[in-house]
Amino acid sequence: MLVELAVRDLGVIAEARIPLPPGLTALTGETGAGKTMVVEALGLLCGARPDPSRVRPGADAAVVEGLFADGDGSEGVGSGGDGSEWVLRRVVPSSGRSRAYVDGGLSTAADMAELGGRSIEIHGQHAQQALLAPRHQRDALDRFAGIDTTALRDARAEVTNLEQRLADLGGDERARAHEIDLLRHQIDEIASVDPTPGEEDDLAAEEDLLADAVAHREAAAAALEALGGDGAVLDGLAVAAESLRGRAPFAAEAVRLDAIGPELRDVLAELRSRAESIEPDDARLDEVRGRRHRLVELRRKYGDDLDEVIEHAAAARRRLDELTSLDSTRESVEYELAEARSLADAEGRRVGDARRAAAPALAERLVELLADLALPASRVEVSVTDRDGRPGAGDDVELLIATNPGAPLGGLARVASGGELSRVMLALRLVLSGGPDVMVFDEIDAGVGGEAAAAVGAALARLAEGRQVVVVTHLPQVAAFADHQLLVAKHTDGTTTLTTVETLDDDDRVIELSRMMTGRPDSATARDHAEELLASSAEVRGRR
């Protein structure tokens, strides 16, 4: 339950702490006093989109806090402590992003919406419009009859998944054949070249060698000649080393000359051998250049390097295996799909039968409740029809109603007025089991009065048994049925305007109901009528 609501700098509310006890609480006050701000504050705790223009002029931010508690002390939805109490907090700055907090820790608006939505349900004109949607009417029938549609949803999801798998396998035979031909061409093209990792570097070095073979040999010959091809340089090194040997000042140089000789001899031998191995070969050069060109073509089509080309070939072979074995795979998927469709059809018939069986009972119960809500001549029919491609499931559910004798049945959008639609919505809420601990009705009694208003008040009181119901109302007949009444009042000193929220005691309730009935809270006659209204409302509640 919602123990207390705190609001600061939201609209005309500078600061208000609003206790919310169990039962039916009526929120009353003059038009424009700020009752809607209280509902908007509750909406912010349910994740509603913030409006910075609602921040009180001169304030940096509007702040809304709600203290929630589990009635039985069991584990709650909060993020900390023992779970028996938790706090939701929403901060809406005049500029910038709003912030959400759960038990003092930063949270997302989505998480707050989930937590707040478990405890609070707000009904207003938006909720009435939602009732007009066929999906909501179908959900209402399912909830009334306790119809579990989980298996049907799962079966339909499996059908969709298998249909997509079948499409991914290449459902178009022509497209499949085209892809197979393309894959085979790619695999054959790569296989005909048969590239190996690192091959291009080796071919580049070989092409450089063959392309300039004559010049390479000439360069080697020139080097050999310069170094003394007839051995003169080596002989000179030997003579020089021998001349210095045994002479202390040149000992180091003699050692170095001794070392140069063998090294130079090795260089000369390797140079002669390497030069003799280089043979011009135009045929091999053409072969290397052709090979490199084919590798370049593969890279242009299939990858940035040969490793990617080789991987592309492997992937193409895997895909080709899938497609060529498609017939058996397709048969398996088609079998699974037929089984899934059969299951979905069976679940659809089960759900549809349950919906059709429950429809008259829902209609009958709504007629009874609408009679209590001052619509005694109402006739209701719950139409259950099938949707194309989903035979038997009764997916299209529509509430058909006639509120006047002799009038034809029609959809809610065409037949029900605003006040009648409010009462249909309230009747549905009374019929449906479950629901959150806190229900808020924002001027649900708009468009009704007199006997109908009293009936709405009695229905709200009945709904409040075992939960909290908050109703924003201008009607004294509705407010009189409340267990508690809060007065939202606007005060101004000519320069600033403030709104306060005050809990009324019994005497104050009489005064406020007098104002609501006649606009004259000081009228003794009006007070007599207010007291009589409270007494008659209590009597009606006592009979229930």
Count other C-beta atoms under 10 Å from residue 292's C-beta. 16
What's the rounded mean pLDDT across residues 339-362?
Answer: 94
Q: Regarding predicted confidence, which is higher, 448 or 267?
A: 267
Beta carbons of 412 and 402 less than 8 angstroms apart: no
pLDDT value for 35: 84
Q: Do 497 and 32 form a contact (C-beta atoms < 8 A)?
A: no
In the prediction, which pLDDT does 109 show? 83
Surface-to-core class of residue 203, CB atoms within 10 Å of its CB (0-12 exposed, 13-18 middle, 19+ buried): middle
Residue 311 has pLDDT above 80, yes or no: yes
* Mean pLDDT, the chain, whole residue set: 84
The residue written with tokens 């170094």 in the block is 227
Q: What pLDDT sits at residue 254? A: 82
Q: Which helix (H) or strand (E) holds 441?
A: strand 438-442
pLDDT over 90 at 126, yes or no: no
Q: From 458, 436, 430, 432, select the one nearest 445 (Cα to Cα).
A: 458
Between the alpha carbon of residue 509 and those of residues 255, 299, 483, 485, 513, the distances in Å are: 122, 87, 11, 7, 6
Report the pLDDT averaged over residues 191-214.
84
Q: In which band, very low, low, confident or very high, does the pLDDT at 539 lie, cut at 50, 70 and 90?
A: confident
441 pLDDT band, cuts 50/70/90, is: confident
- The pLDDT value recorded for residue 72 is 44
CA dihedral 368, 373, 378, 380 (to 10 degrees): -60
pLDDT per residue over 62-91, tens digit each? 999 999 987 643 444 444 445 588 899 999
Phi-psi region of 514 (alpha: psi -120 to 50; beta: other; left: phi over 0): alpha
Least confident of 101-105, 414-418, 494-498: 414-418
Q: How far apart are CA 241 and CA 234, in angstroms?
A: 11
How far, in Å, CA of 376 to CA of 418, rounded?
17
pLDDT confidence of 130, banded at 50, 70, 90? low
CB contact at 8 A, 8 and 61: no
Domain ranges of the chain: 1-124+443-544, 173-324
What average pLDDT does range 162-186 have in this prediction?
82
Q: Looking at the predicted structure, is the pLDDT value of residue 313 above 50?
A: yes
Query: Mean pLDDT, to the nearest integer, of 206-216?
Result: 78
In this prediction, residue 75 carries a pLDDT of 42
CA distance 506 to 521: 14
Q: What is the model's pLDDT at position 544?
A: 52
Tell me the average pLDDT across 27-52. 85
Band (pLDDT 50/70/90 cuts) for residue 416 is low
What CATH code is assigned to 1-124+443-544?
3.40.50.300
The span from the CA of 45 to the CA of 62, in Å, is 12
* pLDDT of 349 strictly over 90: yes
The larger pLDDT score, comparing residue 168 to residue 98, is at 98
Tell whether the model's pLDDT for residue 242 goes beyond 90. Answer: no
